[in-house]
């Protein structure tokens, strides 16, 4: 299964017969060369938490440039 995330960034999730999931994240690269390969869902959660932390620390900057649409202050 693949899904567009943002602009030219997209992800592909591969599920084995045993149910193991691997996520490949691409940015302007062909399928054979993913920029980032995450081995399991825990790695994805940790990456998401890390990126959320960066956004939360810089809410004012993102609001000023129009990239943060949440009304939270």
pTM recorded for the entire structure: 0.55
Predicted pLDDT at 71: 52
Do 9 and 26 contact (CB within 8 A), yes or no? yes
**DSSP letter, residue 46:** H
Alpha-carbon dihedral angle through residues 24, 34, 8, 19, given to the nearest 10 degrees: -10
Predicted pLDDT at 63: 73
Domain layout of the chain by residue ranges: 2-64
pLDDT by position in tens, the chain (length 73): 666 666 677 788 888 888 888 888 888 767 677 788 888 878 888 888 888 888 788 877 777 776 655 555 4
């Amino acid at each position: 299964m693949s899904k567009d995330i943002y602009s030219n960034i997209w992800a592909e999730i591969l599920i084995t017969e045993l149910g193991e999931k691997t996520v490949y994240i691409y940015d302007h690269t062909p399928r054979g060369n993913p920029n980032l390969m995450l081995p399991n869902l825990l790695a994805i959660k940790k990456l998401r938490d890390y990126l959320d932390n960066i956004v939360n620390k810089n809410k004012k900057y993102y609001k000023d440039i129009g990239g943060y649409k949440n009304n939270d202050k």
